[in-house]
Amino acid sequence: MPRPRSLLPDQIAAAALTVLDRAGLDALTMRAVAAELGMSTMALYRYVDGRDRLETLVVELVLAGVDTAPPDPGPGWRAAVTVLADRIRLTVGAHPAVVPLLMTHRHRSAGVLRWSETVLGVLGAAGFAGTARVVALRAIVAYVSGALQLEHLGPLDGPGTGVIAARPDFPLMAAAARDARDVSRDEEFGAGLAALLAGLDPTGGAGRR
């Protein structure tokens, strides 16, 4: 008769997230998570079958903390989408090591689906339908996921910007890098998102139904 399980998925996910927050993505191993839980690696395999499952559990734990309630529609659909984008950015941004896992495990995450469902509701209420709504959602998801990666893996206030600013062989990039020093992370995310949303139209462009 199999031994009864005594650990819940959320407990394993919390231990894995602790490892990630402390030591980064490369440190996420079955052995490290087992040690965090005070058990043997082989015992942990009774609950999860490997690192891929650990990653899925961590992504779901983090995204479960995202508020997916529909925002007040009063200011308009773009303002509502901005609120939703800010919520996911702030929640995920508290655990930067999780950022590279988002795209890989997005299809398995109920948190991503709940967030996307709310965004689709906002877009639908604004008149987006059919392929126009699909294109709009994909554009928003692409922006948020890409912006999170840039913010945490290649930030404007990071050392890479200084390296580019010192490259005379790429004068335009060097000048842009020097200007980038004056752009805060909040400004970069907000202005980029505003530019994207300004270009989305429920009736026009390639997204027309």
117-150 per-position pLDDT tens digit: 999 999 999 999 999 999 999 999 999 999 999 9
Which residue has 């126009």 as its token pair?
A: 132
| Rounded percentage of the chain residues whose pLDDT exceeds 70 | 95
Half-sphere exposure of 77 (CA within 13 A, CB side): 20
Q: Which two tokens stand for residue 101?
A: 């896992």
Residue 68 is which amino acid? Answer: T
pLDDT, tens digit, for every residue of 67-124?
999 998 788 999 999 999 999 999 999 999 999 998 888 778 888 899 999 999 999 9
- Structural domain boundaries of the chain? 9-63, 77-207
d(CA 164, CA 159): 9
pTM beyond 0.85: the answer is yes
pLDDT value at 3 more than 50:
no
Domain boundaries 77-207, corresponding CATH code: 1.10.357.10
Give the architecture (CATH level 2) of 9-63: Orthogonal Bundle (1.10)
